[in-house]
């Protein structure tokens, strides 16, 4: 199945955590098909925190949605992710954005990601790797910009 993940973090060495997350994803029952540039973005929700670095990743996987979610959470935990403050600072966040255009709604997982079309920090890198993607809402990704300032960076 084809899925899209959003990676981001704003604590510690942001580049290190993105690289480590990508390396861990590569070895976790999935094949990485595309990786976006890194984008520096404003925080979402809690504004008083450092800027985030974000990326989007396209993968192929045989993992079912909940197994993929748990795999991503294990990688987050291994990289020091703490869940103390909602929308607060973090070393790494790996969000499951889209899973083969599947709809899913449980206590653990909602697909597509409920804020997918509202967050510029998700849409900009996703648009880079999948410019012809039609979002689960039926809207082409090129027609949705989301909220917030986003700028590509060179690392």
Q: Which amino acids are annotated catalytic? A: 81, 90, 93, 95
Nearest of 57, 53, 87 to residue 72 by alpha carbon? 57
Residue entry with tokens 């990743």 = 57
Nearest of 5, 4, 21, 8 to residue 77 by alpha carbon? 21
User: Which residues, at least 6 apart from 138, have a Cβ–Cβ distance to it below 8 Å?
Assistant: none
Residue entry with tokens 């949705």 = 144
Q: How far apart, in whole angstroms, are the C-alpha atoms of residue 55 and residue 97? A: 12
């Amino acid at each position: 199945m084809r899925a899209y993940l959003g990676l981001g973090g704003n604590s510690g060495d942001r580049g290190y955590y993105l690289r480590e997350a990508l390396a861990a994803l590569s070895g976790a029952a999935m094949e990485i098909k595309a990786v976006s540039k890194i984008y520096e973005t404003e925080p979402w929700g809690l504004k008083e925190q450092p800027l985030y670095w974000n990326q989007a990743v396209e993968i192929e996987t045989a993992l079912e949605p909940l197994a993929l979610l748990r795999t991503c959470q294990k990688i987050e935990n291994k990289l020091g992710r703490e869940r103390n403050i909602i929308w607060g600072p973090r070393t790494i966040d790996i969000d499951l954005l889209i899973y083969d255009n599947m709809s899913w709604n449980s206590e653990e997982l909602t697909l597509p990601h409920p804020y997918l079309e509202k967050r510029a920090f998700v849409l900009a890198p996703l648009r880079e790797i999948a410019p012809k993607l039609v979002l689960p809402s039926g809207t082409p990704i090129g027609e949705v910009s989301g909220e917030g300032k986003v700028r590509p960076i060179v690392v």
